[in-house]
Chain A
Amino acid sequence: MDVMPKWAEVVLVPLISLLLAAIISALVILAIGEDPVAAVKLMVTGALGSTYGWGYTLYYATNFMFTGLAVAIAFHARLFNIGGEGQAMLGGLGVALASLYIPWPHWTLALLGAAAMAGLFGAFWAAIPAWLQAKRGSHIVITTIMFNFIAAALLNYLLVNQLRPKGSMDPSTRSFPEATHLPTLHDILTPFGISFSKAAPANVSFLVAVAACFLLWLLIWRTRLGYEIRSYGKSESGAKYAGISPVKITMIAMIISGALAGMMAINNVMGEAERLVLNATEGAGFIGIAVALMGRSHPLGVFISAILFGFLYQGGAELALWTTIPRELIVVIQALVILFTGALDNMVRMPLERMFLALRFARRSSKGADD
């Protein structure tokens, strides 16, 4: 029997973890001589006070949804995919190749084609560590870390030596052709009479990310494969006994994970930059870890925490612009979220469990007195 009621597990534990992270962040802001209340106000107006702010918040959130879902699906199979960053880089390569070398007639087809390429490239980059884990027993955390560095070196090589247009000093591809440019939220919302900032980078990929959240929820909780992944994650020996192949589940979970991380590239490479630049991922692969942990690996949780991190990113940029607080504050907050919702989970959980147990005993004994 569970010690805690479900609502405490789903809402209370993450909320307390988040609160702890927020308190320490506030102390950090105080320590560097700034006012935390003013900082939060500035972040809220900067990230949510205008459609321009929302446009950036949702743009970042789109990246984090893809990488957060990628980490989450792997968590369900009890695999820790730290390689989202490298997989997203490879996804960017896929998007760039698809956009540059295939003459797309319309952006809808280009989006489909580029998303498929991005997913394929990302899945490929995750499949190698998955195969090494499943067949050769090499620790997936270490191999995915190594693959991040290998991906960075590979992209560096390709951008500097192969894809860079002649005569350009900038290590990036040439701009993608007009037909592959994705409509922004401004373009989408204007026909409905809603005016949305034209300068903000949020684009149609946001809707793809939301759809991905829903589809992943269907996969995890409404299909046989999802059930197999979850049971493998809960108990490997139990799953084996039920005839579930560990090799198959490891491979499939990681391939889905890599494909999701790779598909982030339709947002940052195709939707925003419209060319592939060096370090296009900007650490979004790692933020996926924080997002998945905070969202308890549930697609709805990932959706909510991705928006929260999008808000933090845009708000943090505003802070760096208007105060002396550097952008790195976000990295600290991100670290604290990972620390409290991930590594120090038991620190929050153990006293709560004790409290709920005590409550239950108190209720039972008072009932006993009535009889």
Chain B
Amino acid sequence: MDYATFIQLLDSSVRLATPLLLACLAGLFSERAGIFDIGLEGKMLAAAFFSAAIASISGSVWVGLFAGIGASLMLSALHGVASITFRGNQLISGVAINFLAAGMTVLIAQDWFKQGGRTPSLVSGARFEGIILPGADAMASVPIIGPLYSELISGHSILVYMAFAAVPLTWWLLYRTRFGLRLRAVGENPAAVDTAGVSVVGLRYAAVAICGVLCGIAGAYLSTALQAGFVKDMSAGRGFIALAALIFAKWRPWYALYATLLFGLFGALETRPDVIENVIGMKVQSQLLGALPYVMTVVILAGFVGKAIPPRAGGEPYVKER
């Protein structure tokens, strides 16, 4: 494999890792606060549709992004009402949200655009374009570092840079602020947080809302940056891969970055079977690569290679004692 191919592979890994990373961090906030969220997939899908639809109607990708975040937040609110206020089963609520998004996006798309459940292709201005970082063109001819900078680091859409910036931000918020300490505490021992006079319900709603915003950006990235428009079921299981990455990362932000980059690389390799064949000298089934994140997550969950221990109060609705 030559250097150019290598850079190309990493470049597409970054592109594919971005939605996973955003969704993974979204799940991290929610689950660290004790709210399981298997509805990441549905929230991404809803956001993907609404950002593409509104961007196509308004002609502005930013308006689209906010519409996507709004749609995702609506589903987050539903999840919050079901699992925090009415203390329902968080997993069942997540399943319902996934189906709701899968059905409603096609229903509304068909009603608005009459194109068989898709949005019109987005033209320039209604999508996020790649940003050429300063000096990228000038540096392109420099050996080794040149392509690294101009191909791999430069040229992504703003959402990619936002996703990568979200990692240190999440770390800082969780581990260096009072809010973060309380958020983590509410996922481990909500009774203690309640005793300290801090609202368990308020904190959990805040976490679920942050989760909604991040899922919204992830969905918008799918339909307005990675692709140009919404198609039916376009999240294609990414919400579940993000969930897998979250377990792989043991609910920690920096590890979330590594896990999603690794899963992004698997995705990139899936489209380039020739590269694998060149490097390891034998053919690897693309289905095997596709299933690898799931298999690895099961192995990690089983605790054979470093045990993943979830937040202790995860999935349990909090009932105040009287």
Contacts and interface: CB of A to CB of B under 8 A. Distances in A.
B136 interface: no
A138 B88 contact: no
Interface in A328-350: 328-336, 338-339, 342-347, 350
Given A145-B243, A149-B291, A339-B82, A289 B285 contact: no
Contacts of A147: 294, 298
Interface stretch (A102-110, A150-158, A174-182, A246-254): A150-158
A330 B157 CA distance: 37
Nearest to B106: A328
Nearest to A161: B285
A286 interface: yes
A324 B115 CA distance: 12
Interface in A131-157: 132, 136-139, 141-143, 145-147, 149-150, 153-154, 156-157
A342 to B, nearest CB: 4
A148 B212 CA distance: 25
A328 B291 contact: no
Contact of B240 (A149, A326, A344, A350): A149
B92 A343 contact: yes
Contacts of B91: 80, 82, 141
Contact of B99 (A324, A338, A345): A338
Interface string A257-293: 0000000000000000000000000000010010001
A210 B111 CA distance: 39
A329 B110 CA distance: 11
Q: Which of A142, A330, A332, A338: most chain B CB closer than 10 A?
A: A142
Nearest to A149: B294
- Kindly state the interface size class of chain A when it binds its partner: 35 or more
A193 interface: no
Q: Which of A82, A137, A343: most chain B CB closer than 10 A?
A: A343
Given A132-B301, A136-B302, A154-B287, A332 B95 contact: no
A28 interface: yes
Given A136-B302, A149-B240, A332 B103 contact: yes
Contact of A156 (B90, B243, B287): B287
Contacts of B89: 80, 342-343, 345
Interface in A300-337: 324-326, 328-336
Contact of A153 (B82, B240, B290): B290
B303 A138 contact: yes
Interface in A150-197: 150, 153-154, 156-157, 160-161
Contacts of A142: 243-244, 247, 297, 301
Contacts of B88: 342-347
Interface string A337-371: 01100111111001000000000000000000000
A1 interface: no
Interface string A28-56: 10011100000000000000000000000
Given A32-B107, A141-B38, A142-B297, A149 B237 contact: yes
A8 B120 CA distance: 49
A339 B301 contact: no
A286 B107 contact: no
A135 B290 CA distance: 27
Contacts of A150: 291, 294-295, 298
A326 B106 contact: yes
B96 A338 contact: yes
A342 B89 CA distance: 7
B288 A326 contact: no
A139 B287 contact: no
Nearest to A138: B301
Contacts of A31: 111
B3 interface: no
B68 interface: no
A28 B111 CA distance: 11
Interface string A4-39: 000000000000000000000000100111000000
A28 B99 contact: no
Contact of B86 (A324, A332, A338, A347): A347
B313 to A, nearest CB: 14
Contacts of A344: 81-82, 86, 88, 93
B142 interface: no
Contacts of A141: 36, 38, 91
B92 A342 contact: yes
B7 interface: no
Interface string A114-138: 0000000000000000001000111
Interface in B92-125: 92-93, 95-100, 102-104, 106-108, 110-111, 117
Contacts of A132: 298, 301-302
B302 A335 contact: no
Nearest to B310: A139
B107 A28 contact: yes
Nearest to B83: A343
A146 B93 contact: no
A138 B301 CA distance: 5
A143 B107 CA distance: 31
B303 A137 contact: yes
Nearest to A32: B111
Interface string B240-278: 100110010000000000000000000000000000000
24 contacts: A32-B108, A132-B302, A138-B298, A146-B297, A146-B298, A149-B294, A150-B291, A150-B294, A153-B291, A154-B287, A286-B95, A293-B92, A325-B107, A326-B110, A331-B99, A335-B102, A336-B96, A336-B100, A343-B92, A343-B93, A344-B82, A345-B88, A347-B88, A350-B86
Given A138-B298, A145-B38, A345-B89, 9 more contacts: A136-B303, A146-B244, A150-B298, A329-B107, A333-B103, A343-B83, A343-B88, A345-B88, A346-B87
Sorted nearest first, the 5 A-B pairs with minimum C-beta distance are A331-B103, A335-B99, A343-B93, A332-B103, A153-B291
